[in-house]
Amino acid sequence: MAAIEELRPVKPLKRVSAHSHIRGLGLDEKGHAKFIADGLVGQQEAREAAGIAVQMIKEGKMSGRGILIVGPSGTGKTAIAVGIARELGEDTPFVAMSGSEIYSTELRKSELLTQALRKAIGVRFREKRLVYEGAVKKVRIGYVRHPLNPYTKIPREAELILETRDDEARLRVGEEIALQLLQLRIRKGDVVWIDAKTGEVHKTGRVCTEKEKSLDISLTKCVDTPEGPVKKEKEIVYTIRLHDLDVAYAAQRAAAYTLLGMPVSKEIPSEVRQRVDEEVKKLIESGKAELVPGVLFIDDAHMLDIEAFSFLTRALEESELVPIIILATNRGITRIRGTDIESPHGMPLDLIDRMLIIKTRPYKPEEIKEILRIRADEEDIPLTEEALEELTRIGAERSLRYAIQLMEPARILAERAGRTKVTAEDVRAAVGYFADVRESVKFVQEFEEKFLK
């Protein structure tokens, strides 16, 4: 087991990813979208359409098809893609990339897209492992200053107490496990298990109150407190991506080439992938593993060029090992990159014809309010009702993303003023410090002669 040491109490890390609270599409048994559920708010039509696509995927009826999500910026296109992946299973691989990424690498575009496709396909294994499992009764994380940046703190160690219905254990862990606790945002009440050999941390859910269960207000999956001892042997189900297997096989081959003085390519040879596919097929046929098709989400898909679109079209048509491909764009009629042809969403029509198109619409004020409430809870930012109303107004008049960005600066201003909750005054003060796009453009136009052109 990884080294563990005792730590002093410190303030937990606040910032989390933009979609860490999403657990699914928030649909009922008949596929109807609830107004607030699974971390999603509003966009009922789009979520219900995504739910139909999920059923098609589970029934194996998505062969040769992809999904295209279109809508203005900040309307939850990425959130719906994440929700689709969550509906397919907790261990479903989800790979997100931007259309511009294929131009910022030394790899060929086809190689980069092939790697992305294979990252989104998993192979599920089952085995018995020795683990520490229980509900978190207490967690403390200790920090030290970063050796290269004195303004940044990094986790050094952690102490946590895990309890089951029958047992309790106190663990001290090193910086690698402490970092995972921060990344997973582990707190009191969460149910986790830690691999005793590798130190890998997994969060399975949270012990919810009866009120949280009945009102469906918890942003994390509700689970029961584990039974038996904290330290136990457990059947572990884990998923390895095809790309990771490709890299492992390629590394063995590269080591041999290096010894022989032969050049080593940065790209993965096709014969390596063919060998991996053959080995995976044998494991699946013997019942030792199963294939887990995941989701490849490409945002700003209009940034792809005609060659990339051609590659994706061919992958949808011919490849046996292909994940669910979800594209997203906020463009209307625009030029297809690499050509002089204008097309809907900047994509070839033969690819669009293979897409189920889902529309997202601008959020209403009441939806913006609930989204802000969820983000505030996820980031542990206590808001007064007046502050929430002020942020809602800003989100409706300017943009939802701008309102979300203001919450953390407003929390810092409230803390400096000695307040435990963020007030509307703190929000307005944050607006005075940080401009939105419209103010920024107005500022540039006002002092245009002083800026470089």
Q: pLDDT digit string (tens) for 107-165? A: 788 888 888 888 888 888 877 888 899 999 998 888 888 787 777 788 888 899 999 99
Tokens at 297, concatenated: 């989400």
Query: Shortest CA distance to 370 belongs to which of 10, 17, 26, 32?
Result: 26
User: For 11-24, what is each residue's pLDDT tens digit?
Assistant: 444 445 556 667 78
Spatial separation of the C-alpha atoms in residues 37 and 33, rounded to whole Å: 8
- Beta bridge pairs of residue 195: 131
- Count CB atoms within 10 A of the CB of residue 379: 17
Rounded to 5, what percent of the chain is helix, strand, coil? 40, 25, 35
Q: Which superfamily is assigned to 43-120+294-362 in CATH?
A: P-loop containing nucleotide triphosphate hydrolases (3.40.50.300)
What does the pLDDT average to over 177-203?
88
Say what the pLDDT of residue 392 is: 92
pLDDT at 280: 86
Tell me the average pLDDT of the chain: 83
Q: Best-predicted range by mean pLDDT among 22-31, 147-156, 414-423?
A: 414-423
Which stretches of 28-120 are assigned E, i.e. beta strand? 36-37, 40-41, 66-70, 94-98
pLDDT the model gives residue 428: 92
**How far, in Å, CA of 2 to CA of 198, rounded?**
7
Residue whose tokens read 């098709």: 293
Q: pLDDT value at position 69?
A: 93
In this prediction, residue 14 carries a pLDDT of 43
Q: What is the pLDDT of residue 413?
A: 92
Annotation: CATH topology of 365-443: Helicase, Ruva Protein; domain 3 (1.10.8)
Cβ 79 vs Cβ 40: under 8 Å: yes
- 409 has pLDDT over 70: yes
> 363-368: which pairs have CB atoms within 8 A and are 24 or more residues apart?
363/41, 363/42, 363/43, 363/74, 363/75, 363/76, 363/395, 363/400, 364/42, 365/392, 365/393, 365/395, 365/396, 367/41, 367/42, 367/43, 368/392, 368/395, 368/396, 368/400, 368/403
Q: Are 87 and 51 in contact (CB under 8 A)?
A: yes
Q: Is the pLDDT score of 318 beyond 90?
A: no
**Domain covering 1-10+122-290 assigned CATH 2.40.50.360 in the classification:** yes
Q: How large a percentage of the chain has pLDDT more than 70?
A: 88
Is the pLDDT at 50 greater than 70? The verdict is yes
Mean pLDDT of 258-262: 53
pLDDT classification of 452: cutoffs 50, 70, 90: low
Of 190, 180, 191, 187, the C-alpha closest to 157 is 180
State residue 423's pLDDT score.
93
Where is average pLDDT lowest: 20-24, 49-53, 144-148, 412-416? 20-24
pLDDT computed for residue 13 by the predictor: 44
Domain ranges of the chain: 1-10+122-290, 43-120+294-362, 365-443
pLDDT at position 410 is 92
Average pLDDT over every residue of 20-42: 82
Please say if the pLDDT value at position 264 is more than 60.
no
**Worst-scoring range by mean pLDDT, 119-133, 262-276, 433-447?**
262-276
pLDDT level of residue 358 (50, 70, 90 thresholds): very high
